[in-house]
Amino acid sequence: MKRIALHWKIIIGLFLGVIWALLSGFFGWSEFTINWIAPWGRIFINLLKLIAIPLVLFSIIGGIVGLGDPKNLGRMGVRTLLMYLLTTVVAVSLGLVIVNVVKPGVWMDTNVRTENRIAYELWAKQEGKTIHDKKRLLADPANKGLIDMVAERRGYDQDEAIQSRLKLAKDKRESRPLTFVEDMVPGNVFKAISDNGSMLKVIFFALFFGVGLLFVSDEKSSPVIQVINGLSEVFLKMVDLIMRGAPFFVFALMAGIVTEMAGDSPAKIFELFKGLTWYSLAVLFGLLLMAFVIYPSIMKFFVKRLTYKGFLKGISPAQMLAFSTSSSAATLPVTLECVEENLEVDPKVSSFVLPIGATVNMDGTSMYQAVAVVFLAQMHMIDLSFGQQLTIVLTATLASIGSAAIPSAGLVMLMIVLSSVGLNPAWIGIILPVDRILDMVRTVVNVTGDATVSCVIDELSNDAGTKS
Ligand code: ASP
């Protein structure tokens, strides 16, 4: 009998999970689903996360040692960072074009937008923020009644979820320009590797250790290298074993996610989505453009040996996983496996390019942040100037680099982008209802972007003969 490929099994699991959640909403089984099925999804994510740090550590060290010559490392490092930066800036710019053309925030009811605008002006006054455009609804006496009503009704009380997210981002907002670099260098390596949130620190240590190893005599370094390569293999094997259960785990994940969103009334999901339809469609459209136009063009230009269809087929298990876990970090082990085994990228390249990409290169996230900020401005009747839009390019790029590769990280960092152009960070609460769905899709784009760049770097290294 012909065996069904893993990615098909995962897709089937994914659909069955959604169907189960809808049925369980219909028949009132939500509690059963949340108690007995959803935990398997979280166990799956933990299994993948448990491998992420050791894998990043050993694969980066192994990758650097494999390059043999520090000069190759420098060349590959510069190319990788440039490609990552380029794809991110393209994504943000594309997002800005789409949101300025589609104008999803303008489709809303004018009365609601006027109230939003008043609330914004009240907030700016209270916080002492500058309003950059010309409108001043507060100054118009004709609006007095409306202003009183908005002031009373909105009262700036944010619900708990927003408060906790605000708290999370507070430290980040207070950071200085070099905090980002400062945070990258761990004061204690054991502490860094015991915290999944410290991926950049782990990468820094792995790069440094790998470079150190290159300068040690063969006699001393070869046993270390053998151990590291051996450990890398073991962790990859563990991923392989976990992935055999992926279809079931993905079923459980989807059942849990959808049930938690919808509770006992499946219609709620559609309701949530409806109010934010144009915004969600604009984000989804941009993400699809990245996946089906931008990446294929990059591949076509740089990588002749692969068709985009072949590329997508090879990377699809990682994409499915990105979709169901919403985490590039949890997906990383599988991305590595797909890129090396299905796309035949040299492990020396992929083990260097992908772990870094999972942490710093998030094209989907940066695009979504650009669309979200302008959408929120539009629905508050705020005209963003060209300068403010340029600021968005810069901060969305930095915010996506700083976003952890975990669910909802992009939403938390969005507050920084909002603040950078003088908007209210608490507005993330408005798009919160649809964020999980968009998070799933933007994580797919994040992972696809990393895989694309790894193919390009592999090709360039082949051409230049920099691989030993
Ligand atoms: N979930 C995304 C990732 O892991 C990050 C985000 O946009 O929230 O790539």
Please give the full DSSP string across 145-194, using - where no structure is assigned: HHHHHHHHHHTTPPPHHHHHHHHHHHHHHT--TTHHHHHHS-S-HHHHHT
Residues with CB under 6 A from ligand 1: 326-328, 362, 365, 403, 405-410, 439, 442-443, 446
Pocket test for ligand 1, best of 365, 434, 436, 437 (most atoms within 8 A of CB): 365
Compute CA 219 distance to the chain's CA centroid, rounded to the nearest angstrom. Answer: 42
d(CA 255, CA 248): 11
d(CA 199, CA 322): 18
DSSP summary character for residue 196:
G
pLDDT for position 159: 47
Length of the chain: 468
Highest mean pLDDT among 56-60, 167-171, 174-178, 434-438: 434-438
Return the structure tokens found at 79.
């190319």
- Return the residue matching tokens 């340029």: 390
- Asked if residue 196 has pLDDT above 60, the reply is yes
Residue 70 Cα to ligand 1 midpoint, Å, equals 32
pLDDT for position 416: 80
DSSP summary character for residue 69:
S
pLDDT bracket for residue 338 (50, 70, 90): very high
Phi and psi, residue 295, nearest 5°: -65, -45
DSSP summary character for residue 383:
P
Helix residue spans in 36-143 (DSSP H) = 38-67, 70-102, 110-127
Residue 367 Cα to ligand 1 midpoint, Å, equals 12
- Asked if residue 437 has pLDDT above 70, the reply is yes
Return the structure tokens found at 172.
């980040």
DSSP summary character for residue 361:
-
Residue 440 Cα to ligand 1 midpoint, Å, equals 8
- Asked if residue 272 has pLDDT above 80, the reply is no
Residue 399 Cα to ligand 1 midpoint, Å, equals 11
Residue 15 Cα to ligand 1 midpoint, Å, equals 22
pLDDT for position 275: 67
d(CA 413, CA 398): 10
Residue 30 Cα to ligand 1 midpoint, Å, equals 27
**Mean pLDDT confidence for 393-400:** 87
Residue 327 Cα to ligand 1 midpoint, Å, equals 6
- Amino acid residing at 3: R
**Ligand 1, atom 1: closest residue by C-alpha:** 407
d(CA 70, CA 212): 10
Is the distance from CB of 443 to CB of 326 less than 8 angstroms? yes
d(CA 357, CA 350): 10
What ligand 1 atom has the least distance to the C-alpha of 446?
9
pLDDT bracket for residue 162 (50, 70, 90): low
**Ligand 1, atom 7: closest residue by C-alpha:** 410
What ligand 1 atom has the least distance to the C-alpha of 403?
5
Q: How many other CB atoms are there within 10 angstroms of residue 449's CB atom?
A: 29
Looking at every residue in the chain, the average pLDDT score rounds to 85
Compute CA 424 distance to the chain's CA centroid, rounded to the nearest angstrom. Answer: 22
Residue 188 Cα to ligand 1 midpoint, Å, equals 27
What ligand 1 atom has the least distance to the C-alpha of 400?
7
Phi and psi, residue 109, nearest 5°: -55, 130
**Mean pLDDT confidence for 455-468:** 75
What ligand 1 atom has the least distance to the C-alpha of 326?
1
pLDDT bracket for residue 167 (50, 70, 90): low
More confident residue, 70 or 269: 70
Which residues, 6 or more positions from 139, have their beta carbon under 8 angstroms from its beta carbon? none
Is the distance from CB of 322 to CB of 447 less than 8 angstroms? yes
**Ligand 1, atom 6: closest residue by C-alpha:** 410
**Mean pLDDT confidence for 267-296:** 85
**Mean pLDDT confidence for 281-292:** 96
Pocket test for ligand 1, best of 168, 325, 406 (most atoms within 8 A of CB): 406
- Amino acid residing at 57: L
Residue 326 Cα to ligand 1 midpoint, Å, equals 6
